Structures are given as C-alpha cells and as structure tokens.
Amino acid sequence: MIKGIAEMYHVKGANPDKALDLACREFESIFAHQLLKTMGESMPEGLFEGGLASDIYKDLMFQSIAQAIAESGALGIGDMVRQHMQAGMIKSERGE
C-alpha cells in the first residue's frame, strides 16, 4: 500500500505538486483500507471460513479495493487534504 518514502522523496525534488498528489492519494488509500477492515470485522464469516489464510486473503482484498477507491478519488479525502496542504504552503510562502 505504501509505495515507498524514497520514491516520493525523489518525486518531490522533481515535481512537488505530483509528490503531494501521491501522498494524498496514499493517505486516502490507507484511510479506505482501515474503513474496509473495520467494516469487514462486522461481517459474518460466510465466504471466508476463518483462520490465518482467510485473514490474509481478506486483508489483500481490502487493500486492493482501497487502492481502487483512492485511484478514483471516490471518497474525496485525498482532494480535501491536498487543498488544505496547498493552502498551508501558500500561507507559509507569504509568511503568514
């Protein structure tokens, strides 16, 4: 899920806006994963019979869904964080 701090650091040097976009999308992915994981705990076993393999499979499924949610921007959290961060950067550049 987390693509790599080093990769983001290199992107930041070349294109800070793209690095901010990647970080915000990654944040939305992590948030969506936690949301799905919590919701999954409330589901009856059903398809998943329990055990370690089932837990791993469910987690991989939730990660994949969370990544798709973040890529589409469906929750809009990444966009809100980006706007907030950009506003903060503009204020700090002005010295406010």
Compute the residue count for the chain: 96
Q: Where are the domains of the chain?
A: 5-94
pLDDT (tens digit per residue) in 38-70:
998 887 776 667 788 888 888 999 999 999 999
pLDDT digits (tens, 9 = 90+) for 2-27: 556 667 666 776 777 888 888 888 89
CA distance 46 to 43: 8
Task: Write the pLDDT tens digit of every residue in 71-92.
Answer: 998 899 989 998 888 887 777 7
Predicted confidence band at 32 (pLDDT cuts at 50, 70, 90)?
very high
Task: Specify the pLDDT at position 3.
Answer: 58
Whole-angstrom distance, CA of residue 7 vs CA of residue 10: 5
